[in-house]
Structure 1
């Protein structure tokens, strides 16, 4: 090999190239991990109503590790998404020392039984809320369908100045809901929104004219609905004579006084 100068030159060039490459990698490694490139500014954007400044500062102080180059953006996103009310997070680097964090909060529209909250997409999330939210109860996996039903139902019943406070969906996909925590409405399976729309249209000239309270309505009729009146007392049947005719009671004559 020693009598082949071309081969020796090629090996020398190869070793020189490897040395330069190793030196470049070492300089790059030192630069990337150098404390000379810290993340100095973190900008948090988003319409935040429930997430507090203290919660954000806790994540920034205790979870964000690394320099501008070494900070794990995926882990950073997951750290912020652990906070209650956080639905989605986007994290970006901005040269030379800034980190941009965009946070989307959940918007609670209902409670899923007593176990969780539901956002407008029908997604469950765990958070504390004192808001008076409608309660939805149904089979697992129907959260989105029920949220969509709640929103449509709220639109339809808004003309009555009443709000749905609870909504049920059975295993057979039969609907039932409660208005203002007072009135139970049985809807059934077939064309539920159509049935409610017909009920709302008929309400002003029917139930709204009643002089007594009612607590239950059944819309599962093809051409109408039934109502339960808790204080209703039917009139006694008229008395009949021997021939089956109603007995007419004549009023007593009043004596005139001098």
Structure 2
């Protein structure tokens, strides 16, 4: 073999190539892990009303580990996602030393019973709010349907000057709503928006003028509705002594 110049030249080339590769790998490893390339700037973008600068600063100081090259983008995104009002965080590197973070906040639409909030996309999230929000009560996983129904009922009730304050969805998919005047309306499982519109029309034209406290209205009847008025007393039958 030692007399075979071609084989020796091939072996030398392989050794040289391996050495170059090892040097390049070592240089690349040093380059990406060297403290010479720290993250010096963090740019945070997004319309934020609930997320505070102090919260963002805490995440930046305690959760962002590594250099410009070694910083784990997924872990960084997850770190900002831990903040209660952050729905999503997009993280990008910008050469040579900047990290760009775009934050999308939750927009709270309603409360989910006594446990957390629901955003405009029908997603549950755990955060505190002092906003006067409607309250939703329904089966697990029904948040999107309930947000959609809440949005549908608002314009239907608006002509009567009413707003939904609480909304229930039963396991059998029957709807009930409590309005901001305290009246509960049974809407059932079919033609919910139509029944709500019919209630709004009768409320504005007839019900609101009644001299009694209205507790609830049942709109599930095919040809009418039933009104519960606890302080109403039926007049005596004809000929009956009072």
Quote how far apart the aligned CAs of 1:236 are: 2.2
Say which SS state the counterpart of residue 165 (structure 2) adopts.
Answer: strand
Say which SS state the counterpart of residue 8 (structure 2) adopts.
Answer: helix
Offset from partner CA, 1:47-103 (integer Å, 9 cap, x none): 111111111011100010111111111110000001111111100011111111001
Return the alpha-carbon distance in structure 2 between the equivalents of residues 232 and 202 of structure 1: 19
Is the aligned partner of 1:145 residue 2:139? no
Residue in 2 aligned with 1:123?
123
Pairs within 5 Å for 1:155-170: 155-170=155-170
Offset from partner CA, 1:1-46 (integer Å, 9 cap, x none): 1110110011011101111111111111111111121111101111
Checking the alignment, whether the CA contact within 8 Å between 2:162 and 2:181 is kept in structure 1 is no
Quote how far apart the aligned CAs of 1:239 are: 2.5
TM-score, scaled relative to structure 2: 0.95
Pairs within 5 Å for 1:182-197: 182-197=182-197
Structure 2 spans left out of the alignment, 5+ residues: none
Structure 1 spans left out of the alignment, 5+ residues: 241-246, 248-258
Residue in 1 aligned with 2:85?
85
Return the alpha-carbon distance in structure 2 between the equivalents of residues 171 and 25 of structure 1: 61
Quote how far apart the aligned CAs of 1:192 are: 0.7
Quote how far apart the aligned CAs of 1:198 are: 1.7
Say which SS state the counterpart of residue 221 (structure 1) adopts.
Answer: coil
Say which SS state the counterpart of residue 220 (structure 2) adopts.
Answer: strand
Return the alpha-carbon distance in structure 1 between the equivalents of residues 31 and 81 of structure 2: 30
Say which SS state the counterpart of residue 54 (structure 1) adopts.
Answer: helix
Return the alpha-carbon distance in structure 1 between the equivalents of residues 238 and 13 of structure 2: 121
Residue in 2 aligned with 1:208?
208
Is the aligned partner of 1:34 residue 2:46? no
Quote how far apart the aligned CAs of 1:202 are: 2.8
Larger-Rg structure: 1
Pairs within 5 Å for 1:43-62: 43-62=43-62
Offset from partner CA, 1:189-213 (integer Å, 9 cap, x none): 1111111112212322211222332
Quote how far apart the aligned CAs of 1:181 are: 5.5
Say which SS state the counterpart of residue 69 (structure 2) adopts.
Answer: coil
